[in-house]
Amino acid sequence: MIRASVRDALSRIQSAFPRKEDLETLLSLSDPDETSYLHATACAVRNTYCQERIAVRALIEISSVCKNSCNYCGLNRYNREASRYTMSNNEVLQSVKLAASQGFKTVVLQSGENGRTTESIAQLIAQIKQKFPIAVSLSLGEHPYEDYLAWKRAGADRYLLRIESTDEDFYRSLHTDRSLSTRLECLAHLRRLGYQAGSGIMVGVPGQSISTIARDIQFFSENQFAMIGIGPFIPHPQTPLAKCPAGDLLLTLNTIAVTRIVTKYPWMPATTALGSLNRDYRMEGLMAGANVIMPNFTPQRYKSQYAIYPNKQSRAETPESLEHLGKSANLAIDYGRCDSLLPEWNTCTPIA
Looking at beta carbons only, is 43 or 234 nearer to ligand 5AD? 234
State whether the Cα torsion 186-188-189-193 is positive or negative.
positive
Residues 261-280 touching ligand 5AD, rule: CB under 6 A, are 273
Smallest CA-to-CA distance from 195 within 149, 144, 127, 128 is with: 149
32-50 helix and 249-263 helix, angle to the nearest 10 degrees: 40
Binder of ligand 5AD out of 39, 116, 189, 236 (CB under 6 A): 236
Nearer to ligand 5AD, 141 or 326 (CB): 141
Q: How far apart are CA 146 and CA 162, in angstroms?
A: 20
Type of residue found at 276: S
Nearest 5°: CA angle at 273, between 272 and 277?
Answer: 120
Sign of CA dihedral 164, 165, 168, 171: negative
Say whether residue 162 binds ligand 5AD (CB under 6 A).
yes
Residues with Cβ within 8 Å of residue 106, at least 6 apart in sequence: 55, 56, 57, 58, 134, 135, 136, 137, 158, 337, 338
Q: If binding is defined by CB under 6 A, does position 72 make contact with ligand 5AD?
A: yes
**73 in contact with ligand 5AD (CB under 6 A):** yes
Stretch that binds ligand 5AD, among 47-55, 230-238, 261-269, 340-348 (CB under 6 A): 230-238
237 near 196, Cβ under 8 Å? no
To ligand 5AD, the closest distance from the beta carbon of 43 in angstroms equals: 24
Interface with ligand 5AD, residue 186, by CB under 6 A: no
β pairing state of 158-160 and 135-139: parallel
Decide: is 170 part of the binding site for ligand 5AD (CB under 6 A).
no
Candidate residues 148, 225, 233, 265; the one interacting with ligand 5AD per rule CB under 6 A: 233
Among 112, 115, 231, 269, binds ligand 5AD (CB under 6 A): 231
The residue within the footprint of ligand 5AD, chosen from 96, 107, 308, 329 (CB under 6 A), is 308
Distance CA 11, CA 4 (A): 11
Q: How far is the CB of 255 from ligand 5AD (least distance, A)?
A: 13
Which one, 26 or 228, has the nearer CB to ligand 5AD?
228
Q: Which residues bind ligand 5AD (CB under 6 A)?
A: 72-73, 162, 164, 202, 231, 233-234, 236, 273, 308-309
